[in-house]
């Protein structure tokens, strides 16, 4: 398990370093203005679906179903054909009605801005069917305990965008957005190619070819399996996507604020996502197959032991990451972004948003860990209900905070909804199990409680100093 976590973390770190290089170049070239807002809006929706698929929903339902299937090849091809067709149809609709799609993503944009953004929304959306194919193939690689390709492949998207920025240097800002949009699609194609190569290398290509060859003959035999998968998949998507949908709602509401607000949210969320992906998501991806197998074999003690080790690792590292990110938010933003078209005022505005996001790092990270228990037990509908509570609170709080605090208020609403989601997730996980986890290591419990108390005092001091 440690090897898988390490592989995922190194791959994510590599990709995120390239991502930060991409972001600082974007900030330097585009800054935080209407053109950066347009690109982030255009990339937001397909990127939302990428995060939902790539960060667990599809894998957490497909992998157990694939493992139990008696006709794995045919079942796999059927699931891919159904979902790829649906996503391709969505892509077609977006390209037929790009103005409507752009308006739906950024309701606060005026008609002129929508007309500028619409073509870029259409181009970026081609990334979605490509990245679904990538996610589908990555699930097979996880089945073979091969994590490296998927972990490192996201870097290809960032390299493609970095290349687009380099090629477009000196161009008009709208041309730079065009280069970036095509860079997104090219990056997706590169990811697909390396996954196809990895599938061939690990010997899984005969399975996929056989699924296509025998599909008509055996399709009727996997009908019940397919229905069961579909029934579990959509609640899993909803349950996994609270953080991503919250960020999407932030962007949507920010379109009503002053120019640059969408960019502040984007840049801050990129920093927030680094420790979340590097530690919480990497750990969850590596841990899920093991926990699912233990629970399938009714070996609850071993499953709890795996969760316990991961809990203490995440509890400490996420808390200190959150504290460091909160206190050093301005320095981080200045170091990464303040150059070229990105002004000092942009740094201050992004800092306020980043601080609000960083408070929620711990609850969002731990929620991903304990949600694994629900998905391993096929309690997707329960996870979906928790997501609904969390998302509903985020919507209400966003409407309350947007007027007095602006973009920072949207980030704060997202953070509070993260705490609400963690509360309900722990309730579903079971307080008895959770109590057993935190009391197994009493010394760690005391250390964590002391650190948490210090964490609260320091954040309270910073908030009083910064906002009162």
Confidence class of residue 375 from pLDDT cuts 50, 70 and 90?
Answer: confident
* pLDDT of res. 4: 61
Helix and strand tally (H, E) in the chain? 23, 0
* pLDDT of res. 5: 63
Confidence class of residue 410 from pLDDT cuts 50, 70 and 90?
Answer: very high
452: which residues sit within 8 A by CB, 6+ positions away? Answer: 319
Stated as kind and residue range, the H or E segment containing 185 is helix 173-201
Q: How many CA atoms lie less than 13 Å away from 240 in the CB half-sphere?
A: 28
DSSP state of 378: T
* pLDDT of res. 90: 87
pLDDT more than 70, % of the chain: 86
Decide if pLDDT at 426 tops 90. yes
CA 209-147-128 angle, 5° bins: 65
* pLDDT of res. 184: 92
* pLDDT of res. 240: 66
Q: Which residue has the higher pLDDT, 446 or 433?
A: 433
Confidence class of residue 351 from pLDDT cuts 50, 70 and 90?
Answer: very high
* pLDDT of res. 295: 84
Q: What is the mean pLDDT of the chain?
A: 82
Confidence class of residue 51 from pLDDT cuts 50, 70 and 90?
Answer: low
Confidence class of residue 195 from pLDDT cuts 50, 70 and 90?
Answer: very high
Q: Which residue has the higher pLDDT, 420 or 110?
A: 420
Average pLDDT over residues 20-29: 80
Confidence class of residue 8 from pLDDT cuts 50, 70 and 90?
Answer: low
* pLDDT of res. 185: 94
Q: Is the dihedral of CA 69, 71, 77, 82 positive or negative?
A: negative
Cα separation, 17 vs 163, in Å, equals 15
* pLDDT of res. 432: 87
Can you read off the two tokens belonging to residue 439?
């009391």
Cα separation, 7 vs 279, in Å, equals 11
* pLDDT of res. 239: 67
pLDDT more than 90, % of the chain: 22
* pLDDT of res. 107: 67
* pLDDT of res. 241: 66
Decide if pLDDT at 442 tops 70. no
Cα separation, 15 vs 30, in Å, equals 22
Q: Which residue has the tokens 């090629």?
A: 167
Decide if pLDDT at 268 tops 70. yes
Alpha carbon distance, N-terminus to C-terminus of the chain:
46
Cα separation, 30 vs 339, in Å, equals 10
- pLDDT tens-digit map of 138-155: 888 877 777 778 878 888
* pLDDT of res. 3: 63
* pLDDT of res. 293: 79
* pLDDT of res. 282: 79
Average pLDDT over residues 370-387: 85
- pLDDT tens-digit map of 279-325: 888 788 778 778 877 887 888 888 899 898 899 889 889 988 998 89
* pLDDT of res. 461: 65
Average pLDDT over residues 13-25: 80
Average pLDDT over residues 330-340: 87
Point out the least confidently predicted range of 31-35, 85-89, 387-391.
31-35
Q: Which of 6-20, 72-86, 389-403 has the highest mean pLDDT?
A: 389-403
- pLDDT tens-digit map of 154-192: 889 989 999 998 998 878 888 999 999 999 999 999 999
Average pLDDT over residues 251-266: 82
């Amino acid at each position: 398990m440690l090897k898988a976590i390490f592989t995922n973390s190194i791959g994510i770190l590599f990709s995120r370093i390239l991502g930060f290089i991409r972001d600082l170049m974007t900030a330097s070239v585009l800054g935080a203005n209407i053109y950066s807002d347009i690109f982030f809006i255009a990339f937001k929706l397909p990127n939302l679906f990428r995060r939902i698929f790539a960060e667990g929903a599809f894998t957490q339902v497909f992998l157990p179903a694939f493992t139990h299937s008696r006709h794995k090849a045919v079942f796999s091809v059927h699931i891919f054909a159904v979902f790829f067709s649906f996503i391709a149809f969505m892509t077609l609709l977006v390209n037929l009605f790009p103005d409507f799609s752009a308006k739906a993503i950024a309701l606060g944009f005026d008609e002129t801005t929508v007309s500028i953004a619409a073509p870029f929304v259409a181009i970026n959306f081609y990334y979605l069917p490509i990245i679904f194919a990538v996610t589908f193939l990555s699930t097979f690689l996880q089945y073979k305990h091969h994590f490296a390709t998927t972990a490192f492949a996201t870097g290809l998207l960032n390299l493609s965008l970095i290349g687009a920025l380099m090629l477009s240097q000196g161009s008009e800002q709208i041309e730079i957005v065009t280069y970036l949009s095509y860079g997104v699609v090219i990056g997706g194609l590169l990811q697909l190619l390396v996954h196809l190569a990895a599938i061939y290398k690990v010997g899984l290509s005969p399975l996929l070819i056989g699924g296509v060859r025998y599909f008509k003959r055996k399709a009727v035999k996997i009908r019940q399996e397919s229905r069961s998968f579909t029934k579990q998949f959509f609640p899993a998507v909803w349950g996994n996507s609270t953080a991503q949908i919250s960020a999407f709602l932030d962007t949507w509401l920010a379109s009503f604020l002053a120019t640059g607000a969408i960019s502040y949210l984007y840049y801050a969320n990129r920093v927030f996502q680094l420790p979340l992906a590097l530690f919480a998501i990497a750990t969850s991806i590596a841990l899920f197959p093991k926990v699912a197998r233990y629970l399938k074999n009714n070996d609850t003690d071993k499953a709890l032991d795996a969760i316990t080790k991961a809990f203490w690792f995440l509890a400490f590292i996420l808390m200190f990451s959150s504290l460091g990110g909160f206190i050093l938010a301005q320095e981080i933003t200045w170091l990464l972004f303040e150059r070229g078209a990105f002004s000092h005022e942009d740094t201050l505005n992004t800092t306020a948003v980043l601080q609000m996001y960083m408070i929620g790092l711990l609850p969002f990270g731990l929620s991903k860990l304990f949600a694994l228990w629900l998905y391993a037990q096929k309690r997707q509908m329960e996870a979906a209900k928790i997501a609904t509570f969390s998302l509903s609170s985020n919507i209400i709080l966003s409407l309350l905070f947007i007027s007095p605090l602006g973009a920072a208020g949207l980030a704060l609403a997202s953070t509070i909804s993260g705490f609400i989601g963690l509360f309900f997730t722990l309730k579903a996980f079971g307080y008895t199990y959770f109590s057993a986890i935190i009391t197994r290591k009493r010394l760690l419990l005391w250390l964590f409680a002391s650190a948490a108390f210090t964490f609260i005092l320091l954040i309270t001091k910073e908030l009083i100093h910064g906002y009162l």
